[in-house]
Amino acid sequence: MNNRRSIGVAFAALALMLAACAGDYPQSTLHPTADFGYQIDGLSRTIFWWAVAVFVIVETVLVVAVLKFRDRPGAADPAVVHGNTLMEMAWTLAPAVVLVFIAVPSIQTILKTTGAPVDGALEVEVIGHQWWWEFRYPALAVTTANEMHVPQGRTVTLRMTSADVIHSFWAPKLGGKRDVLPGRVTRIAFTPDSVGEFMGQCAEFCGESHANMRLRLVVDAPADFEAWVAGQRTAPPAPDSAATTERAGLAAFRQVRQPANHSCIACHAIEGVSAGVLGPDLSHLASRGTIAGGILPMSADGLTRWLRDPTVVKPGSLMPKIELSEAEIDALVAYLTSLR
């Protein structure tokens, strides 16, 4: 009975493990959509099959040894072998050969994925902050946050650094992760082949809200990407005279609040309104899918939650809680949702 129970538990555990590998998860590395991801995937499969071969050989030798030299009634002790030069050479050279076959494709993949700039590539400057991502397109004069847009079929080079501590940029379906370091530049290059939205996040512990430092990488068709760039380069219109709530929101955005001298314009940039650099650029905030480092939807409800108390939504947030009345929050939400 105990043996049957043990076997049942083992099969149940195996079923759970297999179930965990099924499904289309948003941050799975098993279904790459860019050349960088294919190279990493190919390397992992190569190493996996080498591991399988080593496992089969070792386990076969082990089973043969157990069966052949097992204790039998009346059987003599097997002969003891000392100093067999051939065997010693074999078990020394075999692992070395396996390591060579693993090392060569590993080094080739590392060299292919260094992210060196190539002609015609779209360069994006990535800056990690606690706890959000800033994306700058120097050739396009576009700056955005947490949501990177790139064109399908064009090589993209990410030039990455950090404004504070060590972060790590990782969009699993497009390729491997790369550390983002203060005072240094690291790179990733990839060519996406599929239109869609791909999730990613910081993969290096960087503080209290590390898990809340997410990103979205949007691969657009070339024409859609050009339209997105054109929209990002157009200054958001000021509220007209009839939009009284939005005008009140703009006034609240500009207001300096005592005694702590808190103000939105000190940290955030909006083209034609303010030039803050400490927080995300909000010029086209409403064109994004999320806010607060990707953890809240870009909606009236999401903005309301964030404005009431950012430190509750994102512990350790560098954006302080500003004492706002409900009327001021409603006005700010109306203004911010107009920034497309």
Model confidence pLDDT, tens digit, residues 162-213? 999 999 999 998 887 899 999 999 998 899 999 999 999 999 999 999 999 9
My answer on whether 212 and 274 are in the same domain is no
Walk across the sheet containing 196-202 and list its strands: 147-151, 214-220, 196-202, 167-170, 178-180
Residue 62 lies inside a defined structural domain of this protein: no
85-132 pLDDT tens trace = 888 888 889 888 888 888 998 888 888 877 777 888 999 999 999 999
My answer on whether 199 and 129 are in the same domain is yes
My answer on whether 274 and 207 are in the same domain is no
My answer on whether 153 and 220 are in the same domain is yes
Residue 77 lies inside a defined structural domain of this protein: no
My answer on whether 280 and 221 are in the same domain is no
My answer on whether 127 and 216 are in the same domain is yes
Which comes out higher in pLDDT, residue 45 or 266?
Answer: 45
Per-residue pLDDT at 1: 52
> Does a cis peptide bond (omega within 30 degrees of 0) precede residue 131?
yes
Residue finishing a domain among 232, 258, 284? 232
Residue finishing a domain among 232, 260, 294? 232
Residue 206 lies inside a defined structural domain of this protein: yes
Task: Tell me which residue range forms the domain holding 218.
Answer: 122-232
My answer on whether 147 and 225 are in the same domain is yes
Looking up tokens 């939650």, which residue turns up? 305
Residue 159 pLDDT level (bands cut at 50, 70, 90): very high
| pLDDT higher than threshold 70 for residue 41 | yes
* Number of domains observed in the structure of the chain: 2
CA distances from 238 to 83, 109, 270 (A): 87, 50, 11
My answer on whether 143 and 226 are in the same domain is yes
My answer on whether 188 and 269 are in the same domain is no
Residue 105 lies inside a defined structural domain of this protein: no
The CATH number for 169's domain is 2.60.40.420
**H-type helices in the chain, by residue range?**
2-20, 35-68, 85-112, 222-232, 244-254, 300-308, 310-313, 326-336
Q: Which of 298-329 are b and which e, b meaning 16 or more Cβ less than 10 Å from the residue's Cβ?
A: beeebbebbbeebeebbeebbbeebebeeebb
Residue finishing a domain among 232, 253, 268? 232
Residue 56 lies inside a defined structural domain of this protein: no
My answer on whether 285 and 215 are in the same domain is no
My answer on whether 286 and 308 are in the same domain is yes
Task: Report the 10 Å Cβ neighbour count for 117.
Answer: 12
Residue 116 lies inside a defined structural domain of this protein: no
My answer on whether 264 and 227 are in the same domain is no
